Amino acid sequence: MYRPRRSVAVEADKSDAERWLVSYADYMTLLFALFVVLYSMATMEKEQFKKLQDTISKVFVEATDKKETGIQGQSVQPDIHPQSDFELYGSGLEEATGPTLLADNAKLEHIDSTKLGSPLAAMQKDINRALRSLVESGLAKVTLDEDWLTVELSSGLLFGSGSASSNSSASAVMTELTAILKQTDNFMRVRGYTDSVPIRTEQFPSNWELSVARAASIVRLLEQLGVAPQRMAIEGYGQYSPFAENTTAQGRSQNRKVVIALSKYAYEPVVVETPEPVESETSAEQVAEEAAQQEQNKVRVIRLPHGGIRITTRPPEPGEEEPPIQQEQ
């Protein structure tokens, strides 16, 4: 039986007519993916949408009391800047609080700002400017942390080898520092450090005496230049608080230094009120008051928790102790 052949042109036309199915299938696949993504986004945003709904409800429905000053409850906008304590040193106190906020913010009412000294950050800039050449040459280093501004000075710049007598360079450096320190009232501690090379001379039996004597020499020099002595205390660490390893000459050089540490707190002078004479006051009470006054003004040698000593008239701070007085036999 004869069957007519189908032409090649007819087959080609039929295949071209069915190509739209490929595009349609791709379109349906993309549309399905779109709805899946939209559904997942809607599920994730339910909690945020609930917050937005609660916020709008409180603004337009519940905010009928005129005493309300803002929206209560959790905000829909995330807190980008988490709350943190204000910096209570340097310019951070003035920038973070300001005069208006200090008056209005109840969280800062317990802070007695009169105990804070001059801003440490501003002093750091002034000291870096005054000692720029020494800082660049590595003979001085100025650092700032939360409580202290420290000025580290190489002992080779201030003293001769094994000596505690300040030289002309020390006078020049202290003169530059005094011009800045006299404008402040921050409490100061002058700390002496040595390397581990032992010293046994008639004047300095050990590095303890040498570190304390060098710190005392700087304190006397600052006092002569006009810094109030009541603001200063002396600390000697000897070889027991090194900044670097004592096994190399460079490390030992880094350990021989004098550090002037400026506290963020101001020096508070102790006001001793003179009581009016009372006729009925007994001699025993007078003796007790005189003993208390002498105890308050006596020079103390305080042992520091990390191995140093401090010579000062101030009582020991928490973590420090005053060695017991050995009575003569």
Output the pLDDT for position 9.
Answer: 55
Q: Give the orientation angle of helix 120-130 with respect to helix 168-181, to 10 degrees.
A: 150
- CA pair distance 308, 241, nearest whole angstrom: 8
Instruction: Note whether residue 159 is domain-resident.
Output: yes
- The alpha carbon of residue 91 and the mean position of all alpha carbons in its chain are separated, in whole angstroms, by 12
Q: Tell me the C-alpha distance between 76 and 264, whole Å.
A: 40
Q: Structure tokens of 170?
A: 């020390």
Q: Residue 143: inside a domain, yes or no?
A: yes
| Pairwise CA distance, residues 194 & 257, whole Å | 7
Residue 252 lies in a domain: yes
| Rg of the chain over all Cα atoms, to the nearest angstrom | 37
Q: Which two tokens stand for residue 322?
A: 């005053």
Q: State the residue range of the domain holding 182.
A: 120-269+299-312
Q: Tell whether 125 is covered by a domain.
A: yes
206-209, Cβ contacts within 8 angstroms, sequence gap of 24 or more? 206/238, 207/238, 207/239, 208/236, 208/238, 208/309, 209/236
CA triple 122-217-134, angle to 5 deg = 45
160 lies in a domain?
A: yes
Does residue 236 fall inside a structural domain? yes
Number of domains into which the chain is organized: 1
Output the domain CATH number for residue 223: 3.30.1330.60
Predicted pLDDT at 49:
65
Cα–Cα distances in Å, from 286 out to 31, 271, 274, 275, 279? 98, 19, 12, 11, 12
Give the model's pLDDT for residue 80.
40
Terminal CA-CA length for the chain = 145
Residue 48, domain member (yes or no)? no
- Mean pLDDT split into 10-residue runs, the chain, 329 residues: 55 66 86 84 65 68 48 43 40 40 38 73 94 93 94 94 92 95 94 94 92 96 94 94 93 95 87 60 68 69 74 70 57
User: pTM (2 decimals)?
Assistant: 0.53
Q: What is the pLDDT of residue 244?
A: 94
CA distance 218 to 169: 12
2 is a domain residue = no
